[in-house]
Structure 1
Amino acid sequence: MVTPRRGELLGFATAGLLAYATDLALFSYLRGPAACDPITAKSLSFAAGCTVAYAGNALGPYRHTRPRGLRPYTVFVAVNLAGALVQLFCLTVSHYGLGLTSQRADTVSGAGIGMALATVLRFWGIRTLVFRDEGRVGSWTG
């Protein structure tokens, strides 16, 4: 098993933090002033965060890979959708299952706990399935 290098992890984390900030800010706005329901708000904020994450990873830690065609973006979206399902599951359990319906509870469950669990899944999927060019493995020194 090839372990990630420090630079790769730092780049992934940076792109992820930018995507997270985008997701959280939009989710908070949509749940607050825009008065959207939590599932719609999370779905829209996810789409914005996913776009930021792809650009950040493609231009950052995985810029030396040469993925071709639409496949990398399609798989990236699929991996992020799997992560979004984890987030939505956490939000659904908290909001509808446990009855924790405040904006703060929705933020903690969807953008906190759900995001943490989804990040582990996303790192594995992006590294393994999207940016897996042979040229990347062991060649990026960060």
Structure 2
Amino acid sequence: MPRHPLVRKLAQAGSFLVIGGIAFLVDAVTYNLLVFGFSGLGPLHAYPLPAKIFAIVVASVVTYVGNRFWTFNDRHLPHRWSRYALFVVFNLVAMGLQLGCLAFSRYVLGLDGIVADNISGTFIGQALATAFRFVTYDRWVFPHDGAGAEADASGREPVREVAPEDRL
């Protein structure tokens, strides 16, 4: 029996949040080690924004792999450079959201401790970035193909021919 579209979307959102949670941990641990280390002064303590950029890039690799092969695994996605370019562009915008929150906290409010950095750059920034990524990944990075990825009456995905140019 095919699942209702709302149930499919909720399951997809759930797996997206799990992948996002893993990426959140990767981002937070990487950033905190770079900026605060184990003693309060990490190697990039004086450079929180570059540290955050590095942490986001590492976490973005996790999100791409996890979302491609779990969250959006039901979609036939031929290899196209435009898809990777869109992923990069949308992640740059999401990175800007996180960096904006961290920069506002650090340079406008003057807050530079571990709690302030994690609330602004990691919690608030990542929440905004995650919402943005879910919408953009679903619509443009991992779109449904024109043939439709809905399951047939048996609940199974339709079998698709893969063109030679779509293979790796």
CA offsets per residue over residues 39-78 of structure 1, 9 Å max, x none?
Answer: 0110000000000000000110211222222222221121
CA–CA distance in structure 1, aligned partners of residues 128 and 110 of structure 2: 21
| Largest Rg, 1 or 2 | 2
Instruction: Provide the TM-score with structure 1 as the length reference.
Output: 0.89
The residue number in structure 2 matching 1:77 is 88
Amino acid at match of 1:64: D
Instruction: Provide the TM-score with structure 2 as the length reference.
Output: 0.76
1:100 corresponds to 2:142: no
Q: Structure 2: 5+ residue runs without aligned partners? A: 156-168
Aligned-pair CA distance for 1:10: 1.3
Shifted more, 37-46 versus 58-67: the winner is 58-67
Amino acid at match of 1:35: P
Work out which structure has the larger RCO, using CA pairs closer than 8 Å and 6 or more positions apart in sequence.
1
Identity of aligned residues (%): 30
The number of residue pairs the alignment matches comes to: 138
Shifted more, 59-68 versus 36-45: the winner is 59-68
Aligned-pair CA distance for 1:121: 0.7
The residue number in structure 1 matching 2:164 is none
8 A Cα contact 1:50 1:77, kept in partner = no
Paired residues for 1:1-142 under 5 Å? 5-33=9-37, 34-36=42-44, 37-67=47-77, 68-134=79-145, 135-136=148-149, 138-139=150-151
CA–CA distance in structure 2, aligned partners of residues 75 and 66 of structure 1: 17
Aligned-pair CA distance for 1:20: 1.0
CA offsets per residue over residues 12-38 of structure 1, 9 Å max, x none?
Answer: 111111111111110111111233121
Aligned-pair CA distance for 1:9: 0.8
More helix by share: 1
CA offsets per residue over residues 68-126 of structure 1, 9 Å max, x none?
Answer: 22222221121111111001001111100110111221111000111111111111111
